[in-house]
Structure 1
Amino acid sequence: MAEFELKYTPQAEVQSIYDTLQRSFRKGVARPLGYRKHQLYRLARLLKENKEAILAAEHADLGKPAQECLVGEIGAMMDRSIKSAESLEEWSKPQNVEVPEWQKTWSPKVFSIPKGVVLIISPWNYPTTLSLQPLIGAIAAGCPAVLKPSEISSHHSALLAELIPKYLDPEAYAVVNGGIEETTRVLEFKWDHIFYTGNGRVARIIAAAAAKHLTPCNLELGGKSPVVIDPDSCDLKIAAKRILCGKTTNAGQICVCPDYVLIPRHAQDAFISALREAHDSFYPPSSGSPLDSPSFGSIINKVQYERLKDMKRRTKAELVLGGGEDEARRRFEPSVWRDVREGDSLLEMEIFGPFLPIVPVEDINEAIEYINDHPSPLVLYSFTTDPKVKQALLERTRSGNLVFNDVVQQLSVNELPFSGIGESGYGYQIMKYTYEAFSHLRASIDIPYAYEPFLAARYAPYTKEKTSIIAVASEMEVPESEWPVRGGEERKANGSANGNSH
C-alpha cells in the first residue's frame, strides 16, 4: 500500500507553512462567507469522492469495519460539513443586544470574528472524525488552520496529507505530519487557538506551550467513563446489549467508550447473564471466535496491545466472559470481569480496549460516592427510568456529558455541545460549538455625539453636583433574600450591625 506511505514534514517547511497562513489571515482570504461555504462543500466532496481510500486507510491502521467508518466517520463528517455551510449565515450574523432604554441609541452589537491562525492536533482512534470535526469548525469560523494528525494512524495521516491540498485552499489550510519532534516544533509558534484531542499527559505539555503565548485551547481528553445501572428501573437485556455495543465499537478505542460498570451487588449475576446473551447475538458461537469476526477491529499497534495484555494479566478479578487474544492480529475478545475492586489493574487508567470491569456496589448512593471519589469523567452513563435516580446523578455528580439509557449516541446529536470537565478536558465542540470555539465574540457600541449632554457628569472637574448624579447608581434598592441564612452569615450581619469588625 505504497500510496499510504507516511512522510514527515521537514521542520524547515513548517515555518513556511506558518508564514503562508499568517499572510492569508491578514489579507482576509478565509473570511468571506462564500469562501467558507465553498471550502466546507469541498471538504464534503473530499469525503465522498475518496470514500474507498479512507476505508482502506482506516482498515490498514485499525482493522476498522467499513460499517463503523461509514456511519461514525465519513457520513457524519459529510453531514456536518454541509450543515455547517448551510448554517453559516445564521451563526455569523451580528447579534443585537437588549439593553436599558437609555443605551439603545448606542447600537450595541456582538460580532463573531475569526480568532486567527489555529492549530489542530488530532489522535489516531477516529482519525477522520477527530481530524475533520475541528477543521470544519475552523473553516466555518474563517480561521486558517494547520492540521497535525497522529503519526500512529500512519496510513490515514498520509492520505490526509495527499488529499487536503487537492480539495482545500493551500493558502489557508495545511497538513503537518510527523512525531514528537515535529509536534514540538509546531508548538513553538504563536497560534490563536489550539485544539487537541488525546490524553491528559500530552495535554499538559500542549497547555504549557500554549501558555507561553496566552493561546486559548480546546482539550478533549477522555478518561474513565462509568456506567451506573439501576436494575430496579431498567431493562437489563437492552442495557447489556447497548453497553457491549459501545464497548466493542472500534475495539473499545473511543474516548466516550463505557469504561466500567457500577451495579448493585444483588443484580451483578443477572447483568452478566444478559451480557452473555448479547455477546452471543453479536458473535454467534456457531460462527467461531469474535477474534475472527469481520465486525470487530484491531488494537492500533503493539504498544497498545501490550499495555492491554499487561492490564489483563495483572487483574485480580474473576473473568466471566471472553479472555481470548490473537497477538498476530492485535485482537482481544470482548472480555468481562466481575467483582472488580478498587486498586485493580482494570481500574488504573482509561482502558481503551474491549475489556469491561464490573464494580459491585450496595446501591445508587454508593455508586455516586465512587464516581465523586475519582476524576470527573468525560461521560457518565446510566441505565434507569427512575426520575429520582436521574435527578440524583444530575445534581450530585460531575461529568462532561450525562447520558441515560444508551452509550456513545450523544455524539450523533449535532445540536448538543460536547466537552470534558476537569481531568477530562475543557472547551466545547460539535457544529455550532466548534464554530464558536474558533470565534471571538467582539462587542461593539457606537455612541452618538448627540448623547454628549447626558455624559457630562463624567468629566473633570468633579463637583458635588456631578457626584450626586453619579451616586444614584449606588443607591438602588437591594431585594431581600428568602433563602435561609447560615449561622456564619447571621453572625457576620449582626457583627456589622453592632459595629464589630472582629
Structure 2
Amino acid sequence: MIQEIHQKQSQYQQEIFPMTTKRRKLLLKTLASQIERHRKNIQSALRLDLGKSTYEADIAEIDYCLQDIKHTLKSIDSWAKPQKVKTPILVQPGTSYVHAEPLGKVLVIAPWNYPFQLLIAPLISALAAGNSVCLKPSEVSHHTAIAIENMIKEAFKPEEVAVVQGGVEETTELLNLNWDHIFYTGNSHVAKIVMTAAAKHLSPVTLELGGKSPCFVFDIDASLTKAARRIVWGKFFNTGQTCVAPDYILCQEKDKDKLVSLLWEQITNFYGNEIKESPDYGRIINAKHFDRLSKLINKDEILKGGNTDRDSLFIEPCILECTADSPAMQEEIFGPILPIIVVKDKQQAIEFVKKGDKPLAAYIFTDSNSTEKLFRNKISSGGMTTNDCLVHLMNQDLPFGGVGVSGMGSYHGKFGFDRLSHQKAYLKRSFFMDIDLRYPPYEGKLAKLKKIMSLIP
C-alpha cells in the first residue's frame, strides 16, 4: 500500500505540476470543512489518548488548525505570486523574479503529544505550497490517528493526501522511499534516523524537536503573581507534554520561596485541591512515559506535589528544587514536573543554560527592560517570549522552529509555505540590446568591462 501511495503521488504531481492556487484553496477549504465535521470525533479521540479537556482540544489542536487555514487562504495568492526583484545593470534590459514552485511529495511524521495539530499544521503548509502529502500519525495516540484517517479518507484522493498507520515497520518503509521533503516532529534520536534515511535520496528535511526550555525569573516583584500564573499555565497545559513548555525555572534564592508559594497557589486555583478529579487536567500518554517521568521525581527534592497513580496514568503537578546533577535535569522532562534551579545572579543563569544544547524555546519573566535585553541577546533558542509562555506559537507571522539539536527549519504561515516550496530563480532578457564585451575573442575587453563594473553603485 505504501509503495502504491508513493507512486500515485509521484504520477499525480507530474501530471498537474504546478498545482493551481485555485486547486490549493479548494483542498484547504475541504480540509477546514472536514475538521468541523469531525470535531466531536477528534475531541473524543484526544480525550481517550491524553485525557485532554474539550477546551485544550479546541484551542490547541482543532481551532488552532482552523485559524491556520483561515490565515493561509487569506494570504496564499500573495505568497504564490512571483516576487519581482532587482536586476543588475550587466544583465539589462531584463526582469528578475522568484517563483515559488511545489516540491512534489511531502512526508509528514507527527508525534503523540499534540497528535492532531502537529500532523495537520504541516499538512496545511504543504497543501498551500501545492504538494501531495503522505501523513504518518503517531501510533501511540492511536484513537486520534484513526480519527484523522477517517477524516482524510472521506474527502481526499490518496494522490493528494494519504494516511499511513503503523509503527516502526511502516515508518521504516516510508523512509526508504524518495520523498521531495520529509517533515518530522519528535525526539532527536528518531530525527537522526530520519535524517540518515533522507540523506540516501538527498531529500531535504524539516526537524521540529525539543530540548530543555529555560524560564528566567529575575528582577520582578509587582508582577510576580501574574508571572506565576502564566508559568503554571504554560508548564501544565497538556499535562506538561508540550515541546515548548518551560522545562525548568532559574531564579535567585531571595525569590524562591515566594515564587514556589505563588506557583502552587495558581496550580490549586486552576485544578482545585483534588487535582486528580479536575476535568481540566490530563493524563500521561502511556505507562512507558509514566515510568520514565516517575524516575525523574527525586523525593528529597520535592517542594510541592508529586503524587502519582500508575493505574490512571496520573502525575500530580510537582515542583522540585534541583541542581545540575538532579535526575530531572538530565533530559527534556515532557511532563508535569517543574524543577527550580537557584543561581547567584543573571550571569550564572546564562552560563547554566549555555552549558547545554540550544533549546526550542526560552522564557523571560521580568519587570526590567535591561534584564529582558540581556537574556534576549545572550540566549540562543528556537523562539523566545518575555512575560508569557507558549504564545509565540499563536502568531502565524512568526516562524516556529529550533536551532542546533532542537531542530532545523521553521514553519507556520508564510514560513511554512516557503519551507515546502522551491524558490526558483527566473530572469527574462530582451533581445533589444547585446553588448559585445561578454563574447570572445576577449583580447582588450577585460579592462573595459572592469571599468564599467567599477561605475556600478
Structure-1-length-normalised TM-score: 0.88
Distance 1:268 1:33, change over 3 A: same
Equivalent in the alignment of 2:350: 368
Pairwise CA distance, 1:333: 0.5
1:132–1:93 Cα change, 3 Å: same
Could you tell me how far apart the structure 2 residues matched to 1:141 and 1:123 are? 23
Q: Tell me, what secondary structure is at the counterpart of 1:205?
A: helix
Contact 2:271–2:281 (CA under 8 A) maintained in structure 1: no
In the alignment, is the contact (CA less than 8 A) between 1:39 and 1:169 conserved in 2? Answer: no
Equivalent pair of 2:5/2:158 in contact (CA under 8 Å): no
The answer to whether 1:423 aligns with 2:405 is yes
Cα distance, 1:29 vs structure 2: 6.4
Q: Which has the higher mean CA deviation after the structures are superposed, 145-154 or 442-451?
A: 442-451
Task: Name the counterpart of 1:483.
Answer: none
Structure 2: gaps of 5 or more residues? none
Match of 1:458 in 2: 438
Distance change >3 Å, CA 460–CA 168, structure 1 → 2: same
Report the AA paired with residue 296 of structure 2: M
CA deviation after TM superposition for structure 1 residue 107, in Å: 1.4
1:236-385 equivalences in 2 (<5 Å): 236-285=224-273, 289-312=274-297, 315=298, 317-338=300-321, 340-385=322-367
Q: 1:31 aligns with which of 19, 31, 42?
A: 19
In the aligned structure 1, how far is the partner of 2:331 from the partner of 2:279?
Answer: 28
Q: Which residue of 2 aligns with 1:181?
A: 169
Q: What CA deviation, in whole Å up to 9, does each residue of 1:49-75 have, x standing for no partner?
A: 111100111111111111100111111
CA contact (8 A) 2:206 2:409 kept: yes
Task: Specify the alignment match of 1:498 in structure 2.
Answer: none
How far, CA to CA, are the matches of 1:77 and 1:66 in structure 2?
15
CA contact (8 A) 1:96 1:110 kept: yes
What is the percentage of aligned positions where both structures have the same residue?
Answer: 36
Shift of 1:171: 2.4
2:101 aligns to what SS in structure 1? strand
Q: In the alignment, which residue of structure 1 is the partner of 2:451?
A: 472
Checking the alignment, whether the CA contact within 8 Å between 1:226 and 1:262 is kept in structure 2 is yes
Q: In the superposition, relative to structure 1, how do residues 114 and 39 fare at CA in structure 2: closer, same or farther (>3 Å)?
A: same
Report how far residue 391 of structure 1 moved.
1.5
CA contact (8 A) 2:360 2:406 kept: yes
Residue 71 of structure 2 corresponds to residue 91 of structure 1:
no
**Post-superposition offset of 1:361:** 0.5
1:280 CA displacement: 2.1
Q: Per-residue displacement from partner, 1:303-347 (whole Å, max 9, x unpaired)?
A: 0011011111xx375211111111111011001012x11111010
Contact 1:254 1:352 in 2 (8 A): yes
CA distance in 2, matches of 1:431, 1:172: 21
Cα shift readout 1:376-417 (whole Å, capped 9, x = no counterpart):
000010101312112211221110011100001111111111
Residues 65 and 294 of structure 1 are in contact (CA less than 8 Å); yes or no, is this contact kept in structure 2? Answer: yes
User: For residues 22 and 234 of structure 1, do their structure 2 counterparts lie closer, same or farther at Cα, with a shift above 3 Å needed?
Assistant: farther
Correspondence for 1:67: 55
Q: 1:62-101 CA deviation, whole Å, 9 max, x = no partner?
A: 1111110011111110111122122111110011112345
Task: State the 1:290 CA deviation.
Answer: 0.6
The unaligned stretches of length 5 or more in structure 1 are 1-12, 479-502
Displacement after TM superposition at 1:30 (Å): 6.9
Q: Aligned with 2:424: secondary structure?
A: strand
**Hey, what's the Cα distance between the residues in 2 that align with 1:395 and 1:327?**
43
Paired AA for residue 279 in structure 2: P
Residue 406 of structure 1 pairs with residue 385 of structure 2: no
Aligned length: 457
Change (3 A) 1:30 1:108: closer
TM-score by length of 2: 0.97
Preserved contact between residue 231 and residue 384 of structure 1 (Cα < 8 Å)? yes
What residue identity is the alignment partner of 2:365? F
The aligned counterpart of 1:388 is 370
CA RMSD of aligned residues (A): 1.6
**Which amino acid is the alignment partner of residue 335 of structure 2?**
G
User: In structure 2, what is the Cα distance between the partners aligned to 1:95 and 1:80?
Assistant: 23
2:110 counterpart of 1:125: no
**Which has more radius of gyration?**
1
Q: Which moved more, 1:244-253 or 1:161-170?
A: 161-170
